[in-house]
Structure 1
Amino acid sequence: MQQHLTIFDPFDEMRFGHHICFSCGTTITQDQQTPVFPAWLMEKYGFGQELLRMLDQSIIAYQDLKIPCCHQCQTQVLDPLEEKVRQALSQGVTGLRGLEEKVLFQWLGKMFYGTLVTELIKEQNPLVRPEYAVSEQPKMLLKFQSFFRVLQSIRVPIEFSDFLPCSLFIIDVDASAEPLRFEFRDELSTMMFSVRIDNALVVCCLLDNGMIKQSLRRVWDIIEPRQLQPIQAAEFSARVFYAAYLLNVVPDYLLRPVKPQDDHLVMDTLIDDVTNVIFNPWQHTSYAKLLATVWAKWGITQEDILRDPAEPLSMLFSPEGEFIEFPKIPGEQAGN
């Protein structure tokens, strides 16, 4: 196979380390690194020195979170990707929505994978004992291996036959009452990643072949054209995160045989066990617990959310199913 069409699979023999390029597997020197969160983004929003807690409970500054990357992958792959996203972001929500979804998936995927690789490299240190070691969970590793196969599209020209590996939502948030801001949240086990940049909130399940977006289609069709209040955006994000928690299947990805004249790979997908229920049942109590964590800044508790156990509190829709233009936040004085 042509060299530029060769897929790298670090999970095959758990090849993770400071001397292995995360993208192509080339052996490199320890000083060849790239920041997990783009330097231009950290500079613009000033969060480089803010702290992030890792799975082993260690604390690291965003700017110190780096992964091994060879010069070629940096200059030929990552730099052009960052430039595309940077230009799109300069036009806000409209720019992001105009960006090819595959490009946005790759950009989010690189940041998600960067935090994962950091965890895997740390776990190789015998003195590090995280409570839930990723490398000791075979099911999780298979999930990450599937994800990395589609993330190789960042470097190798890959055409996804009739699917996008992720569910991607770009939400317009009314940020007029809030300062210039950056917020990020990820969840390794459910492959969830969200990033808030000014008035754009991007929420993504990175490995579901769009099944979550399909299941939330009715709600998303109402929300997509509107500008949401921050509390509403937080609620929609919680719905997506909870749907990812309920997702019960892991897509598998297969490459079609390569012919000598091919200049790209074609990837197909399948769900391994069609007898599986795609989503586990929705439980109001579990959802309310998750929603309470994102609504904590507004002083809303799980008890508030479940005052009516059959109809959890919503800032998006009235009990009759109508979209709420101006949600009234419990406990706030009228006119505030």
Structure 2
Amino acid sequence: MTDLRVYDPFEKMQFSAQNCFLCGTSITSEQRTPVFATWLQQQYNLQQKELLLLDKSVTTFGDLTIPCCDNCHLHHIIPLEEQVEAAAAQGLAGLQALEEQKLFQWIGKMYYGTLVTELIKEADPLIRPEYAVSENPKMLGKFRSFYQVLQSLRVPMVFSDFLPCSLFLVEVNSTEDELPFEYQDELTTMAFSIKLGSVAIVCSLLDNGIIKRALGRFYRLTQGQQLHPVQLAEVKARVFYAAYIFNVVPEYFERPTKPGDEQLVLDTLIDDVTNEVFNPWEATSYAHMLEEMLKPWSIRKQHLMPELNQVISFIADTSDHFKPMPHFNKEEVLGHP
């Protein structure tokens, strides 16, 4: 009989090195799984690459692991990583062909692995964060909803007419691309991006696909195109900013099960009556987000807003057509050095 029970670590704030992050089973301190898979670390030489955590402590991709029982590691984590590795080896076409729910689980595992590390470290931080995640009830409620759908990694689960996230897959031109691997996430807004060679995946993890629909026309412009890294920065800025102004938290409900059921069906509800789905879009705030993404090119906010309430686009021209950018010349594109 298939076990369809969903584990909820938030009920008792059960975040420790002695409990499997995925099923809650009591384990030893040696039972752990990498947040970023071994194949990913080896392919992009990430083992010694540093990561800064919220308490200002530093770890590496190789050292970032989370508690995981042998059963979950063997039957859930490894098969998922093998599927993604095989898809990534085929480039954009391979990842586009992969079931979206698998991509959600893969990204979700990395995001949640980072989050769990932060929650465990908050019990004994190097430097106490100004805003502790575990002391924010609203954020914990959001994380709890996310974890409920992440259980699809362990429990056979069907999402009824929705995907919990928005996924954006784009191809990057290698001509002026100096970074084979990039990773960025924002814990509070649940925005995430990862670049694997010529393919970038940008994701908003808990919006039921609303952000993808909102950015649909813009996203369609990028399809079939090879983006310059500057253009990828704009894709990331738009998705991360949309996640920042996204103002609702989806609720998920399990349909009652009966003996013999082989999968759990989840329905969803978003309260768009008492809450606006998005807070107002503000040009200045978006320009600041875009500036952050464009730091490697030293492009400042004043360069991005030639006119009040108007932010330039590196992807769409004034007629909303794709703007090819095989090379980036700052003076040529912005009109000044």
- Return the letter of the residue paired with 2:130: E
Residue equivalent to 1:315: 314
SS at match of 2:115: helix
User: Normalization by structure 1: what TM-score?
Assistant: 0.95
Q: Give 1:233 shift.
A: 1.1
SS at match of 2:311: coil
Residue equivalent to 1:166: 165
Q: Give 1:217 shift.
A: 0.8
Q: Give 1:128 shift.
A: 5.3
4+ residue segments displaced more than 4 Å: none
User: Normalization by structure 2: what TM-score?
Assistant: 0.95
- For residues 111 and 311 of structure 1, the distance between their equivalents in structure 2, rounded to whole angstroms, comes to 35
Residue equivalent to 1:15: 14
Residue equivalent to 1:30: 29
Deviation string 1:82-120 (CA, Å, 9 cap, x unpaired) is 000000000011100010000000000000000000001
- Residues 1:216 and 2:215 are matched in the alignment: yes
Q: Structure 2 matches for 1:110-121, cutoff 5 A?
A: 110-121=109-120
Deviation string 1:238-278 (CA, Å, 9 cap, x unpaired) is 00100000101000000000011201100000013523111
SS at match of 2:3: helix
- For residues 280 and 179 of structure 2, the distance between their equivalents in structure 1, rounded to whole angstroms, comes to 38
Percent identity among equivalent residues? 51
Please identify, of 190-199 and 318-327, the stretch whose mean Cα deviation from structure 2 is larger.
318-327
Q: Give 1:281 shift.
A: 1.1
Q: Give 1:285 shift.
A: 0.3
SS at match of 2:330: coil
- Residues 1:137 and 2:100 are matched in the alignment: no
- For residues 10 and 202 of structure 1, the distance between their equivalents in structure 2, rounded to whole angstroms, comes to 28
Residue equivalent to 2:246: 247
Please identify, of 220-229 and 230-239, the stretch whose mean Cα deviation from structure 2 is larger.
220-229
Q: Give 1:131 shift.
A: 1.7
Contact 2:171–2:200 (CA under 8 A) maintained in structure 1: yes
Contact 2:2–2:261 (CA under 8 A) maintained in structure 1: no
Contact 1:254–1:267 (CA under 8 A) maintained in structure 2: yes
Residue equivalent to 2:293: 294
SS at match of 2:235: helix
- For residues 273 and 224 of structure 2, the distance between their equivalents in structure 1, rounded to whole angstroms, comes to 34
Ranges in structure 1 where 5+ consecutive residues have no aligned partner = none
Q: Structure 2 matches for 1:24-63, cutoff 5 A?
A: 24-63=23-62
Q: Give 1:179 shift.
A: 4.5
Ranges in structure 2 where 5+ consecutive residues have no aligned partner = none
Contact 2:221–2:321 (CA under 8 A) maintained in structure 1: no
SS at match of 1:209: coil
Q: Give 1:178 shift.
A: 2.9
Q: Structure 2 matches for 1:42-121, cutoff 5 A?
A: 42-121=41-120
Contact 2:177–2:229 (CA under 8 A) maintained in structure 1: no
Q: Give 1:332 shift.
A: 5.6
- For residues 244 and 265 of structure 2, the distance between their equivalents in structure 1, rounded to whole angstroms, comes to 29
Please identify, of 315-324 and 68-77, the stretch whose mean Cα deviation from structure 2 is larger.
315-324
Deviation string 1:204-253 (CA, Å, 9 cap, x unpaired) is 00000000001011111221222211111111110010000010100000
- Return the letter of the residue paired with 1:50: K
SS at match of 2:14: coil
Please identify, of 220-229 and 156-165, the stretch whose mean Cα deviation from structure 2 is larger.
220-229
- For residues 68 and 117 of structure 1, the distance between their equivalents in structure 2, rounded to whole angstroms, comes to 9
- For residues 130 and 312 of structure 1, the distance between their equivalents in structure 2, rounded to whole angstroms, comes to 33
Q: Give 1:177 shift.
A: 3.1
- Give the number of aligned pairs: 333
SS at match of 2:331: coil
Contact 1:186–1:192 (CA under 8 A) maintained in structure 2: yes
Deviation string 1:27-46 (CA, Å, 9 cap, x unpaired) is 00000001101011101100
- For residues 63 and 8 of structure 1, the distance between their equivalents in structure 2, rounded to whole angstroms, comes to 27
- CA change 1:315–1:48 in 2 (3 A) is same
Q: Give 1:3 shift.
A: 6.2
SS at match of 2:294: helix
Residue equivalent to 2:183: 184
Please identify, of 193-202 and 215-224, the stretch whose mean Cα deviation from structure 2 is larger.
215-224
Residue equivalent to 2:331: 331
- For residues 168 and 229 of structure 2, the distance between their equivalents in structure 1, rounded to whole angstroms, comes to 15
Instruction: Name the Cα RMSD after superposition.
Output: 1.6
- Return the letter of the residue paired with 1:206: L
